[in-house]
Amino acid sequence: MSEQPSFTWPVRVYFEDTDTGGVVYHAGYLRYYERCRTEWLRARGWSQQVLMSGQGVAFAVRSMSVEWIAPARLDDLLEVQLSVRQMRGASMRVDQRIVRAGDGVVLSSAQVRVASVRVPDFRPVPIPDALLESLTA
C-alpha cells in the first residue's frame, strides 16, 4: 500500500491482546483488520447489522494474505489502514496495514478479498447498488 489509505482506524494494544511477553499474538492482527473494515463500512453509513437485517447481505472474507513485519506491543497506539484496490459486482479487494502511530513503522500488511453473500445461505450476491455507490465515492 504505497498511496494514502482511504480509511484509518486507531487501535490501542491492551493487556488482553498480548502474550506474557507483552507482544500481540499473530491472530490478534486479524481482529484489528476486521474491526477496521467494519468501521470503514460504518463511516460510510452502513453497519453490519443493517446490512444483514435490512439488505440481507453480509461480507465474508474469501482469502487473506498477511505479512507480519514487526511486533506490536502492550500500550502501543496503532493505526489500522485500509485502501480499496478493486470493486467487483459481488466482491472487493482491499489492502490493509497496521502502522505504529508516532514513528510510522509498518508492523503488518494484508491483502483481503471479501465476498458479498446472501445471509440465509451464504451464496454470492451482488453488492447492493446504494452500498456500492457509497463505498466507491
Instruction: Tell me whether residue 19 is one of the annotated catalytic residues.
Output: yes
Length of the chain: 137
* Cβ neighbours of residue 83 closer than 8 Å, sequence gap 6 or more: 1, 3, 4, 5, 6, 7, 94, 95, 96
The catalytically annotated residue of 19, 75, 95, 121 is 19
Query: What beta strand segments (E) does 19-135 contain?
Result: 57-68, 77-87, 91-100, 106-118
Give the residue numbers marked as catalytic.
19
